[in-house]
Amino acid sequence: MSLDDLYREVILDHYRHPRRRGALEHPDAHADGQNPLCGDEIAIDLAFDGDRIADVRIRGRGCSISQASASMMAEAITGKTIADAKDLMHRFKAMMDIEPGEAGLDAARPGAALGDLEALQGVRRFPVRIKCADLPWATLAQALEGHPPA
């Protein structure tokens, strides 16, 4: 496993130019996530339009993997329905071996449906870093708790 597969250009691009950075003035949902062991932090603001995620803003600091994962996630879930975002979350976690299941993944190209996020699959080979990639998603799960209202 080469480091060039871990630190793909697209990851470094999201790390250096994170998308959807900032805060929402009146978020419909919010969550803070941190990894107390390494100090990485993510904050997520969400605005809903019915059952759709209309807007996403992310703040945080940490390693390239956690911050790139957050940036890619923000892009991927913007405009999606809450149900689709949750589905994407399960696909991502399946790709990273965090959760069992295939969630419709192509065995030859796991994560292909995930767009830019596919670039993070190299992280699987560095087990201590998987939690970095997962931090934004765990924080998203928190923010989506109770949405949509049952």
Partner 1 sequence: MTDLSHLRADFPLLQREMNGRPLVYLDSAATTQKPLAVLEAMDRFYRRHNANVHRGAYALAQEATELYEGARAKVAAFVHAASAREIVFTRGTTSAINTVAFGWGLYHLRPGDRILLTTMEHHANVVPWQLVCRHTGAELIYLPFTADYQIDLEALPGLLDERVKVVGLSGMSNVLGTMPPVTAVAAAARAVGALTVVDAAQMTPHSPTDVQALGADFLAFGAHKMLGPTGIGALWGRLELLESMEPAEGGGEMIRDVGWNESTWADAPHRFEAGTPPIAEAVGFGAAVDYLSAVGMDEVHRHEAELTRYALERLGEVPGLTVYGPADVAQRGGAVSFTLADIHPHDLATILDQQGIAIRAGHHCAKPLHRLLGVPATARASFYVYNTREDVDALLPALAEARRLFGVS
Instruction: Give the DSSP H or E segment for 44.
Output: strand 41-49
- C-alpha 18/C-alpha 15 separation (Å) is 6
Find where tokens 């003035």 sit.
Answer: 25
Under the binding rule (CB under 8 A), the answer on residue 21 touching partner 1 is no
Binding span for partner 1 by CB under 8 A among 55-63, 88-96, 112-120, 139-147: 55-63
From the list 52, 126, 142, 147, which residue makes contact with partner 1 (rule: CB under 8 A)? 126
Binding span for partner 1 by CB under 8 A among 31-39, 50-58, 95-103, 109-117: 31-39
Q: Assign residue 38 a region (left: φ > 0; alpha: ψ between -120 and 50; beta: otherwise).
A: alpha
Size of the site for partner 1 (CB under 8 A): 20
- Tell me how far apart the terminal alpha carbons of the chain are, to the nearest angstrom: 45
From the list 56, 132, 143, 144, which residue makes contact with partner 1 (rule: CB under 8 A)? 132
Under the binding rule (CB under 8 A), the answer on residue 115 touching partner 1 is no
- C-alpha 86/C-alpha 88 separation (Å) is 5
Tokens of 67: 């911050």
Contact set with partner 1 (CB under 8 A):
3-4, 6-7, 12, 16, 37-41, 61-65, 126, 128-129, 132
